[in-house]
Amino acid sequence: MMKRLLRIAPFLLLVACGGSKKTVETPVVTPVEQRPSWVGARPSSDGYYTGIGMANKSRPDVLETAKKNALNDLASEISVRVEGNSLLYTLDRKNQFDESFTGTIKTTSNEQLEGFELVDSWENATEYWTYYRLSKAEHARIKAEKKAGAIRNALDLHARSRQSIGNGDLRTAFDQELRALLAMKEYWGENDAVELDGRQVQLVNELYADLQKLTSQVRLTALPERAELSYENGFKRELLVSAAYANGGGLRDLGQLPLFITYPGTGGKVTELKNTDTEGRARTTVQRVDPGSKLQEVLVKLHLDELISRELDRALVGALLASLTAPEVHVPIVMRMPRVFMRSKETNLGQPVGDAGVASVVREELTTKGFRFVEREGEADLVLDLSANTRQGGESNGFFTAFVDVTYTFRDRKTQEVVFEGGKQGVKGVQLTYEKAGLESFKKAIPDIRKELVPGIMNAFN
């Protein structure tokens, strides 16, 4: 027992002595992140385009985002030089494209990149990095191959367009020529010399010029050359519009051509969309024309928007076609308003009202719109009978109420048939006396009568 205690004693002594000393802690060494050189410094190569992309691991689509960023980076290295004789250069100088359009065309999108390869990737706890490259020689080969295919496609569509316009089908010809131009969209800023009809031409410029020619050589005519509207023809006139294509000194009828027709109507601008028939003709009836409109004409024009297929990028195509000439024809409208003989009877509580009534306003409104008043009934086209009378409505707290009833009837002088009739019933006026309340009711009725009078008469003929 004593021997065992002696053996333990030195150990206890050491523990006892050690308790009086400070504990020395060994520091924990954190290893430095070994980032690849391409993460910190962009690789440079004469033979490759390089793309580096990073995405935060907090994103659910971290791999796709890193790849997208890398390809964006790679695409930015591929310079695009806009040639001075290219279509894009011309459109830019004419300010026809805003930055969003030119940027779309000039920049090579990721979806168009081919032949790239993944070189390396790296990640830590929070980031994911990826490194792509694209052989410059391979890129040039693929681009040349794609451009040759685009040229073949464009030339084929161009040839079809010429055949279609030769058959008088401008709608199809325009669509084919436009698609030919869009087939070359990636190369609008480049030289693209080809041989066409025995000539060396810049293909895109040639396609654009032919697209302009397709619309500028459309000829529109209208018969009659003036649309005369009168009481005798019921303020209606049919117009016959003809469309033809001028080529080589001759004219060819254009069937199924979309036309936009507009003129001022009593209810606002009248707009019609018409297609020509197989003989290149379209008919429209001009009616319900607003006689008070400042611009008295029918406008007929080629409806360019209807020539664009719905599946095409309409914003891009719209900007592209902004300089195209849309042929149009203007047909003056000559309105010969009817002669009117008016018979009126207006009283306020049984007493004549004179110029304070509705009759003077009706005469003024119709005269302003071109109607002619005559003094003898036998000279008139229309006879207007107008009646306006007020009645008492009662008194309350010192205020008196009166109501006016207005009726008017337009009849054909020869047939005595009613052409148009209207009026207002029970329009209320409130004032300090019955007489003043009656006059107030006349004032309240006048705005509505002004508003409905001329449109009602004009619409009655249609």
Task: Please report which confidence band the pLDDT of residue 29 belongs to, taking 50, 70 and 90 as the band edges.
Answer: very low
| Per-residue pLDDT at 2 | 38
| Per-residue pLDDT at 243 | 97
As to burial, measured by CB atoms within 10 angstroms (0-12 exposed, 13-18 middle, 19+ buried), residue 312 is middle
| Per-residue pLDDT at 323 | 79
Contact predicate 351/388, CB 8 Å:
no
Give me the chain's average pLDDT, please: 86
Alpha carbon 149 to its chain's center: 33
Task: Please report which confidence band the pLDDT of residue 111 belongs to, taking 50, 70 and 90 as the band edges.
Answer: very low
Cα–Cα nearest to 165, from 242, 241, 249, 253: 253
Task: Please report which confidence band the pLDDT of residue 170 belongs to, taking 50, 70 and 90 as the band edges.
Answer: very high
Q: Provide the 3-class DSSP secondary structure of residue 222.
A: strand
Dump pLDDT digits (tens) for 270-304: 999 999 999 999 999 999 898 888 889 999 999 99
* Unique residue bearing structure tokens 């004219």: 251
As to burial, measured by CB atoms within 10 angstroms (0-12 exposed, 13-18 middle, 19+ buried), residue 448 is middle
d(CA 124, CA 234): 85
**Region 20-35 average pLDDT:** 52
Q: Which DSSP state fits 187? A: G
Is the domain defined by 218-305+325-336 classed in CATH 3.40.50.300?
no
Question: What architecture (CATH level 2) is domain 45-138?
Answer: Roll (3.10)
Q: Provide the 3-class DSSP secondary structure of residue 270.
A: strand
| Per-residue pLDDT at 95 | 53
* Unique residue bearing structure tokens 């930015």: 76
Share of the chain above pLDDT 70, in %: 85
Check pLDDT > 60 for residue 151.
yes
| Per-residue pLDDT at 34 | 83
- If one counts every other C-beta atom within 10 angstroms of the C-beta of residue 88, the result is 21
Q: Where in the chain is the domain with CATH 2.60.40.10?
A: 218-305+325-336
| Per-residue pLDDT at 77 | 84
Question: Longest Cα pair distance anywhere in the chain, in angstroms?
Answer: 158
Q: Where in the chain is the domain with CATH 3.10.28.20?
A: 45-138
Contact predicate 336/291, CB 8 Å:
no
**Region 15-39 average pLDDT:** 57
Check pLDDT > 50 for residue 1.
no
User: What is the DSSP secondary-structure string of 57-121?
Assistant: TTSTTHHHHHHHHHHHHHHHHS-----TTSHHHHHHHTT-S-HHHHHHHHSPPGGG--S-EEEEE
| Per-residue pLDDT at 122 | 95
**Region 124-139 average pLDDT:** 94
* Unique residue bearing structure tokens 């080629």: 302
Dump pLDDT digits (tens) for 227-244: 999 999 989 999 999 999
As to burial, measured by CB atoms within 10 angstroms (0-12 exposed, 13-18 middle, 19+ buried), residue 344 is middle
Check pLDDT > 60 for residue 97.
no
Task: Please report which confidence band the pLDDT of residue 114 belongs to, taking 50, 70 and 90 as the band edges.
Answer: confident
In single-letter form, the type of residue at position 408 comes to Y
| Per-residue pLDDT at 255 | 94
| Per-residue pLDDT at 458 | 78
Q: Provide the 3-class DSSP secondary structure of residue 181.
A: helix
Dump pLDDT digits (tens) for 198-212: 899 999 999 999 999
**pTM for the complete prediction?**
0.70
Task: Please report which confidence band the pLDDT of residue 89 belongs to, taking 50, 70 and 90 as the band edges.
Answer: low
Dump pLDDT digits (tens) for 362-419: 999 999 888 999 999 999 999 999 999 999 999 999 999 999 999 999 999 999 999 9
d(CA 282, CA 340): 36
Check pLDDT > 80 for residue 3.
no
Strand 127-135's sheet: what is its strand order? 48-56, 127-135, 117-123
Q: Where in the chain is the domain with CATH 3.30.160.180?
A: 339-460
Can you point out the beta strands (E) in 297-416? 297-302, 328-336, 339-348, 351-352, 372-373, 382-396, 399-412
Dump pLDDT digits (tens) for 417-446: 999 999 999 999 999 999 999 999 999 999
CATH of 339-460, one of 3.40.50.1100, 3.40.50.970, 3.30.160.180, 3.30.930.10: 3.30.160.180
Task: Please report which confidence band the pLDDT of residue 11 belongs to, taking 50, 70 and 90 as the band edges.
Answer: very low
| Per-residue pLDDT at 108 | 43
Dump pLDDT digits (tens) for 334-353: 999 999 999 999 999 999 99
Dump pLDDT digits (tens) for 30-75: 455 688 999 988 898 899 999 999 999 999 999 999 999 999 899 8
Task: Please report which confidence band the pLDDT of residue 462 belongs to, taking 50, 70 and 90 as the band edges.
Answer: low
